Amino acid sequence: MDVLATRSTMKVIVLVVATAATMLLPGCTDRTSAGGGNTHPQQATSSRPNDVEAAESGTGGEVTAHAAKLGRVLLLKPTDNSSGRMDVFERNLDTDSSKLLISYKSFPETFVWPVVAIKPSPNGAYLALIESVDALRGGGGRCWIWERKTGRISKVNDDPLGDQGFDWLPDRNRLLVHDDAGGIPWEGTYDGSIAIYDPAPRKLNRLGSVKGLILAIPAGKGNIVEVVLTKGDKSSVYLQPGAGERRLLFQWPRLISSIAQSPDGSHFVFFDLDNYYVTDARGRNSKSFKIPVVRENLNTTIKFNKSGTRAAVFTDYSTGEPHINNTQQLWVTDIAGHARRIAKWEELFQGQDLATARALEGWLPDDRSVVISGELYYGMEKPADTEHDWYKLWGYDVSLGNAKSNQFFDSGKGWYGVAWYSITGN
């Protein structure tokens, strides 16, 4: 997760209407390129269909297990140019089909528009939707849960948190609700809070406050990994079960600002603002690997593949005044600490960039390919309003000696992707 980005600076997504009369998004492509893809986009030019009535006539339906290869994409579409209200669409990349999941009319009147983030549960049965940032309520947005089977939308709680404050646990249907420092070493002690929300009974189980909480992340078997700041910017890493007492795993002499645990709980990969490390579950046998980055304005996302044999590390940092040059890198390491860079993107102010990466989405079900989202500009200077105005997905098969990107989704201009995920079962 991106732990150095403050929750008060979440980007508000401005959407453009563009869809086909059959509610099908522009198609996929299997063209390959070495620098993030250089295929020309497919345009979506027809008008908005009568899809609101279709959404109100039924629910999203069950999610069936299937041998997913490419997964699914969640996209947003506005109802007009000013209100911020929007519909939520889902594109199944394996069946090449799209459907309207949630009509804007289904949202309660108290929902603060627009939607700023959507996080699907691992089995796709629920979506966590985070409403717009509201500075008057503390600089964050509340979280709401949509249930696919019934179409019901319910509020998690009234605490305004940013889009980093909600993460699904790997047990498929429980949501970790956390208020931590986001990896930022605050001056003084920061008291964070942790809770688990079960959407079936709509029950929020508060686990209590944690003094000095820097990070809280989902871990295997319904556990939570906590990083707590101690004296002198030292870190203590704890394992908090969903039910039971927390226990100390290990301590580290520097501040851990980003961390991920392998699915089987046997290894960690983390960043301590100096180096990246692979360790065992108790912080022993640590092996460092160097990723050349600057520390200024650095965001780091770390995600293991399903088997836990590799971890993808995505870095995004900006330099210059006022931080107008951005650089993104994708690295992959194995649990022995052997890391290599897969790709690098540079976004220069008034530059002519072919590709700009935005996020590390995860791993394809083949367990070898890393998924990156971003946009292409084809050598043209980027207009000021196109930051989210093009959504593409690339896969990098990191098992190959020379990993090249395979572009497998192109939204076409005007579509905005908010989440990619893969359902492997119910």
pLDDT digits 0-9 by tens, 38-82: 222 233 322 233 222 233 323 455 554 445 799 999 998 888 767
pLDDT digits 0-9 by tens, 332-354: 999 999 999 998 887 665 554 45
First-to-final CA distance of the chain:
25
Distance (Å, whole) CA 280 – CA 267: 4
Positive or negative: CA dihedral 81, 87, 88, 94: negative
How is the beta sheet containing 143-147 ordered, strand by strand?
A: 117-120, 126-130, 143-147, 153-155
Give the three-state DSSP class for 41: coil
Report pLDDT for 162. Answer: 64
pLDDT digits 0-9 by tens, 367-388: 999 999 987 554 444 444 444 4
Closest CA to 261 of 233, 223, 213: 223
Report pLDDT for 67. Answer: 55
421: its two tokens: 């995920």
Closest CA to 361 of 337, 385, 393: 393
Closest CA to 124 of 60, 58, 77, 52: 60
Q: Are 118 and 74 contacting, i.e. CB atoms less than 8 angstroms apart?
A: yes
Q: Mean per-residue pLDDT for 227-243?
A: 87
Distance (Å, whole) CA 33 – CA 19: 27
Give the three-state DSSP class for 188: coil
Distance (Å, whole) CA 244 – CA 320: 47
Q: Mean of the per-residue pLDDT values for the chain?
A: 76
Residue 17: pLDDT band (50, 70, 90) is: very low
285: its two tokens: 């046998």
Q: Of the spans 2-11, 149-158, 172-181, 398-407, which averages the highest pLDDT?
A: 149-158
Residue 231: pLDDT band (50, 70, 90) is: confident
Domain boundaries defined on the chain: 7-57+70-421
Distance (Å, whole) CA 420 – CA 397: 17
CB atoms within 10 A of CB 134: 13
Name 247's bridge partners: 239
Check whether 355 has a pLDDT greater than 80: no
Give the three-state DSSP class for 254: coil
Tell me how far the alpha carbon of residue 41 is from its chain's centroid.
24
Residue 306: pLDDT band (50, 70, 90) is: very high
Report pLDDT for 282. Answer: 94
Tell me how far the alpha carbon of residue 188 is from its chain's centroid.
29
Residue 14: pLDDT band (50, 70, 90) is: very low
173: its two tokens: 């249907």
- CATH of 7-57+70-421 given 3.40.50.12780, 2.130.10.120, 3.40.30.10, 1.10.260.40: 2.130.10.120
Distance (Å, whole) CA 256 – CA 224: 16
pLDDT digits 0-9 by tens, 391-405: 889 999 998 877 788
Check whether 426 has a pLDDT greater than 90: no
pLDDT digits 0-9 by tens, 168-188: 998 768 999 888 877 776 666
Amino acid in the structure at residue 33: S
CB atoms within 10 A of CB 57: 7
Distance (Å, whole) CA 4 – CA 316: 10
